Amino acid sequence: MSIQVGDRIPDANFMKATAEGPQQVSTGDYFAGKTVALFSVPGPFTPTCSARHLPGFIEKAGDLKAKGVDEIACTAVNDAFVMQAWADQSGAGDQVTMLADGNGDFIKAVGLPMDGSKFGLGQRGQRFSMLVKDGVVEQLNVEEPGAFNVSSADYMLERL
């Protein structure tokens, strides 16, 4: 069963690229005391993720922050180096924090894994977005397989 609105984000760790190398970030620390717009993509550099999902959150970062979002973060079942390369290539800069879930621990903990084996991707995370306030899910938008509608920055922004 997947996480639901009103649930607390479960304990898990992300990896974040820093100048000193990958740094572990716990969900407890990361989501504490702030409002985070988190979105999950099946794969950095893949077509929909690179052409629409990430660019939408970059483009709408100011609007989301004006509506009370403190930080925007992207996660994927991938390593911190790929996530940082994607951030650099896309121009995400300091607008979107990249949180690598290399082993899929977070995605499993929230109950939103995806089997992308038929596309050569292996185990990944479903496409979704969520608004998390002080560690509690206030909005959860999970896409149907192959779709890109409810996890977009525009969709989240309309509901803030």
- What amino acid positions are annotated as catalytic residues? 49
3-state secondary structure of 129: strand
Alpha carbons 127 and 148: distance in angstroms, whole number: 8
Contact 151, 127 (CB under 8 A): yes
72 beta partners: 37
Q: Is 9 left (phi over 0), alpha (psi -120 to 50) or beta?
A: beta
